[in-house]
Amino acid sequence: MVEHTGWFDRVATALLIVGTIAVCLPILLALVVVSMPDGQELQAVYFIPGGHFLENMARAWTREDLGRQIVNSLVMAAGITVGKIAICIISAFALVYFQFRYRQIIFWMIFATLMLPIEVRIVPTYEVASNALLPAQQIATFLGFDLNLQWSLLNSYWGLTLPLIASATATFLYRQFFLSVPEELCEAARIDGAGPLTFFFYILLPMSLTTTAALSVILFIYGWNQYLWPLLITTDSSMSTVVVGVAQQIAVDEADPKWNMVMAAAIIATLPPVLVVLLLQRWFVKGLVDAEK
């Protein structure tokens, strides 16, 4: 039996409490700041609430285009989550369960995109986003055709989601999972006369539900918290996301920002992903830890 007595446990508990308070300190202060009446944010340093919390939250909510930006963030996060899962699960299915020419090449092409975030190729990706048919057009021009193709993704939901879907992490997660599914299952299904699509929809998809749930939580947070990309491709503030909107409130250099409003907006912007993490904690932890394997 491991000893569980004495000063060591007490020190550990004390440090744990101190550490937890330290981790929560920024949000505590933010909550206090929100409760301060206008112009008295300075008083928040003593961590004594000012009693205007709900009122200020309501004001922040109606001020600016917060509602509109929340909708944009939701569409973007949901679009990235659903889009990524949909295209990744079918390509992982093809890679694991089919024998076809170029399988190895395709596998390595997808593999190569792993871990290269959009931040490293922003300028050219921005050019493609301003005309998604640019590659096709340039190839056509190269081949001697004179085409004028134009499909701008700027200030659109396509632009907010599609470029961020282009990465392979989810494909790998599903591939790992499919490889762990016993082959006998597929053989049995085939003997019973199931084709590949029947097997996929009736057996593999239901089996992947926990993996999908875990992955959804991670991808939703990833999508919601995007910053650089929405900042670049949304010039129209009605297409902006809430995280970008909050940051822009303090970027106004001339006037000192209204801190109680900024913090209220920051809390509103943070609430959806935090709720997702807290309410779906089990899936969230599974999603994180699964990605390691």
Partner 1 sequence: MQKRALFSGSALPYLLVLPQLAVLLVFFFWPAGQAVFQSMTISDPFGFRVIFVGLDNFKSLLSGKEYWSSVRVTTMFTLCATFLSLAGGFFMAVFADRAIRGQRALKLLLIWPYAVAPAVAGILWLFLFHPMFGSIALFLKAIGVPWNPSLNGTHAFVLVTLAAAWKQFSYNFVFFLAGLQAIPKSLIEAAAIDGAGPATRMVKIVFPLLSPTTFFLVVMNFVFMFFETFGIIHAVTQGGPGNSTNILVYKVFRDGFIGQDLGSSSAQSVLLMIIVMVLTVFQFRYVERKVVYA
Window 89-108: residues binding partner 1 (CB under 8 A): 90-91, 93-100, 103, 106
SS (H, E, C) 170-197: HHHHHHHHHHHCCHHHHHHHHHCCCCHH
Interface positions, 201-240, toward partner 1 (CB under 8 A): 221, 224-225, 227-228, 231-232
Between CA 215 and CA 54 the distance in angstroms is: 34
CB of 198 to partner 1, least distance (A): 11
Interface pick for partner 1 out of 120, 143, 252, 255 (rule CB under 8 A): 120
- In the numeric block, the tokens 């209204």 are attached to 258
| Shorter beta-carbon distance to partner 1: residue 86 or 147 | 86
Interface positions, 26-45, toward partner 1 (CB under 8 A): 26-27, 29-30, 33, 41-42, 44-45
Interface positions, 139-198, toward partner 1 (CB under 8 A): 162-163, 165-168, 171, 178-179, 183, 186-187, 190, 196-197
- Tokens representing residue 125 in the block: 């990706």
Per CB under 8 A, 246 contacts partner 1: yes
| Shorter beta-carbon distance to partner 1: residue 102 or 145 | 102
Instruction: Tell me if 49 sits within 8 A of 35, measured CB to CB.
Output: yes
Instruction: Tell me if 292 sits within 8 A of 81, measured CB to CB.
Output: no
- In the numeric block, the tokens 């085409």 are attached to 147
Per CB under 8 A, 119 contacts partner 1: yes
CB of 169 to partner 1, least distance (A): 11
CB of 70 to partner 1, least distance (A): 13
Number of residues counted as binding partner 1 (CB under 8 A): 108
Q: Quick one: DSSP state of residue 168?
A: -
Q: What are the distances in angstroms from CA 112 to CA 103, 109, 169, 187, 235?
A: 14, 5, 11, 32, 31
Interface pick for partner 1 out of 48, 54, 58, 109 (rule CB under 8 A): 109
| Shorter beta-carbon distance to partner 1: residue 215 or 269 | 269
Interface pick for partner 1 out of 78, 154, 207, 247 (rule CB under 8 A): 247
Instruction: Tell me if 61 sits within 8 A of 67, measured CB to CB.
Output: yes
Instruction: Tell me if 161 sits within 8 A of 76, measured CB to CB.
Output: yes
Instruction: Tell me if 231 sits within 8 A of 29, measured CB to CB.
Output: no
